Amino acid sequence: MFVFSDGRSTETAALDSTARAYRELGVPIHVAPVGDERISGDVAVQDIDAPRDARPGMRVPIRVTLRSRGYDGERTELRVRSAANPKGDALATLPVTLSGGEQALELVVDTDRAKGPLTVEISPLPHEAIAANNLVPFQISPRPKKIRVIYMEGGPPNAYRRLSEALAEDPEIECLDIGTTSGFGQAGLVRKNDLHHGYPATRAELFGYDVVICSDIRRDSFTQDQLNWTVEFVGQRGGGFAMVGGNNSYGAGQYHKTVWNGLIPVDMGQWGLERGFANIVYWGEGRIFRVVVPPEAQGHPIWHFDDDPEHNRAILEKMPIFYGCNLVDRLKPAATILGKSDRPLMSVGQAPIFSCQTFGKGRTFATLTDTTPAWGVDFERIWGEGDNRYFRKFWRNVVRWLSENSGEANRRLWVETDKVFYRPGQDVKVTARAFDEKLAETDAYRVVARLRGPTESESQPFDATATNLVPQLGGPAYRGKLTTPPASEIVENPGSTVHGLVLDVVALDGDRVAAQSSALLQVIDDPAEFRDPRPNPSQLKELAQATAGRVIQTPADLATLLAGHREATVSEVVTRSPLWDTPLLWLLLLGLLSSEWILRRRTGLA
């Protein structure tokens, strides 16, 4: 027996049993060590956590897990590149000092630049064993639809103009302007271009939008259903909601007594009629304030105006003064403060002027000051470079951030996986939400999921191997998990360490397909052999010694062994046995004759 190998084995127990068996047979195993002993180790992109899709103009994090061995302390660089232009400038770079084992790292890319197929790559190191696992392709797909915004303004006529114009500058944003029926402070809402309609009158219509901005609107302008739908729109559909300050906002507008209280990032308290009208807002000559953006909040996407951090900080410091704001009790514990007043405001201290939070699947934003005359008159007119460009960019940033998780893209079936990249044999955790014809969330459907290769037809019927997603107690969400197949069963990219999978999910109403959705997944195969690719000739020598074999160092050694190998002797043994000497055959014949005789006797033919 001759073995040509680098000696690196992940199954040493099997190797020992093999050696024992050949030793008992008296067959020596001769070994020929191969492999480059200069190999130091391996570096691999082991996992990527990236969003499946994103709006244009977003800055999104790409979280990468590196695995390395044999290069502790070495310096290299992690990059995100365009796959179509691999020699062009990287979209994001990060210097890395390898420390062995797994390292979690994060890069940030601009989706306006990150178009089409992308790659995460780590620079190859000298004498690295495998280069194929240094690069992993992925993609952040653009969301094809426009961001649809409802902007309600209860201020004076034409007060909505500057914010609406700011959103209109972005071709990816579509804004529906709504005002009050009789001007400032009046109940009842009408659309600027449709005086017969106001705030969406059905859940289905509201769920066709991505963001709702409510500025100085009286609480009695909404029905209870509309208030409830808005909470559902954010929490379950992933929509965005923003409240803007005014005489009819927050506690002054009695919103703390509605279901919207949970949406708002601040505790509105009783700053309304209970404390007297004079305490609703802080305003007036000599009571102006500026907004201070905490250092830890300056990197938030809402405050992104320039890629240069120093210039971006200078823009924030140039934010004009404000002339009033609503008073609130405090920032909610789970909320993030984006900007606070530079001085105490009456008994509330430094007020959380700008804040945000997540709410269920969606996001919400609050500004205690107005962004139109009179409190925000300078903010909307002169925050810029002789213009109001930063005001306009601010509101586009707010809308894009709020809409990032909007679920309108698939209105009847929303599907989410815990990750995009998996390893062979890992569980894919799936969460699905189904909606009926009126877009009310329901658990009345049967929801099933399956995994298939990208080359397999999606028209194949769901068979018994499909996994049922089960509705959860306390809510209509469906959940389940499927296991990714071994890499050997995924043949899209033979020889590659990255393979594609498709997750299909279908909601069934009886035998009828009510809704369906698909999501692309990727499987990264990082075999155990890659973990330590250095040759291990000592293991081969042990194998040879255990079976009285030899270690082949040169071609001459191999030729000598083959020349001294004895030819095998072949013995042919032929055994003949007459068929009629078989007792079983005679018993069979006797049984047949007896059966025939008995049959004839019973039928009278004997």
Asked if residue 90 is part of any domain, the answer here is: yes
pLDDT of residue 155: 82
Instruction: Work out whether strand 147-153 and strand 211-215 pair parallel, antiparallel, or are unpaired.
Output: parallel
Asked if residue 64 is part of any domain, the answer here is: yes
Burial 274-295 (b: 16+ CB within 10 A, else e): eeeeebbbbbeeeebbebbbee
User: Looking at the predicted structure, is the pLDDT value of residue 57 above 70?
Assistant: yes
Q: Which of 402, 431, 455 is the last residue of a domain?
A: 402
Asked if residue 605 is part of any domain, the answer here is: no
- Each residue's pLDDT tens digit, 312-337: 999 999 999 999 888 888 999 999 99
The average pLDDT across 511-523 equals 86
- Each residue's pLDDT tens digit, 388-437: 999 999 999 999 899 888 865 456 788 889 888 888 889 999 999 888 87
The average pLDDT across 183-209 equals 82
Residues 308 and 436 in one domain: no
Average pLDDT of the chain? 85
Residues 303 and 442 in one domain: no
pLDDT of residue 606: 59
Above pLDDT 90, what percent of the chain?
37
User: Looking at the predicted structure, is the pLDDT value of residue 297 above 90?
Assistant: yes
pLDDT of residue 289: 92
Asked if residue 540 is part of any domain, the answer here is: no
The average pLDDT across 441-463 equals 82
Q: How many domains does the structure of the chain reveal?
A: 3
The enclosing H or E element of 526 equals none
Asked if residue 486 is part of any domain, the answer here is: yes
Contacts of 462 (CB under 8 A, 6+ apart): 448, 450, 504, 506
Asked if residue 530 is part of any domain, the answer here is: no
User: In which band, very low, low, confident or very high, does the pLDDT at 574 lie, cut at 50, 70 and 90?
Assistant: confident
pLDDT of residue 561: 82
- Each residue's pLDDT tens digit, 551-570: 888 888 888 888 877 766 67
Residues 397 and 262 in one domain: yes
**What backbone torsions phi and psi does residue 44 show, to the nearest 5 degrees?**
-140, 145
Query: DSSP state, 477?
Result: -
> Between 368 and 476, whose confidence is greater?
368
Asked if residue 346 is part of any domain, the answer here is: yes
* CATH classification at residue 107: 2.60.40.150
User: In which band, very low, low, confident or very high, does the pLDDT at 187 lie, cut at 50, 70 and 90?
Assistant: low
Residues 242 and 327 in one domain: yes
User: Looking at the predicted structure, is the pLDDT value of residue 286 above 70?
Assistant: no
Please answer whether residues 366 and 385 qualify as being in contact, where contact means their C-beta atoms are separated by less than 8 angstroms: no
pLDDT of residue 283: 55
Copy the structure tokens of residue 125: 């190191």
pLDDT of residue 537: 81
Lowest mean pLDDT among 168-177, 236-245, 265-274: 265-274
User: In which band, very low, low, confident or very high, does the pLDDT at 527 lie, cut at 50, 70 and 90?
Assistant: low
Residues 121 and 87 in one domain: yes
Q: Which of 344, 376, 402 is the last residue of a domain?
A: 402
Rg (CA), the chain: 36
Residues 389 and 418 in one domain: no
Residues 456 and 480 in one domain: yes
Residues 467 and 353 in one domain: no
Residues 318 and 212 in one domain: yes
User: In which band, very low, low, confident or very high, does the pLDDT at 445 lie, cut at 50, 70 and 90?
Assistant: very high
Residue numbers of the domain that contains 101: 42-143
The average pLDDT across 109-120 equals 89
Asked if residue 3 is part of any domain, the answer here is: no
Amino acid, res. 11: E
* CATH classification at residue 379: 3.40.50.880
Lowest mean pLDDT among 440-449, 460-469, 485-494: 485-494
Residues 390 and 430 in one domain: no
User: Looking at the predicted structure, is the pLDDT value of residue 276 above 50?
Assistant: no
Distance separating alpha carbons of residues 69 and 42, to the nearest angstrom:
6
pLDDT of residue 209: 92
Q: Which of 143, 176, 202 is the last residue of a domain?
A: 143
* CATH classification at residue 452: 2.60.40.1930
pTM attached to this predicted model: 0.62
Distance separating alpha carbons of residues 253 and 159, to the nearest angstrom:
19
Residues 395 and 431 in one domain: no
Residues 166 and 287 in one domain: yes
pLDDT of residue 285: 47
pLDDT of residue 182: 62
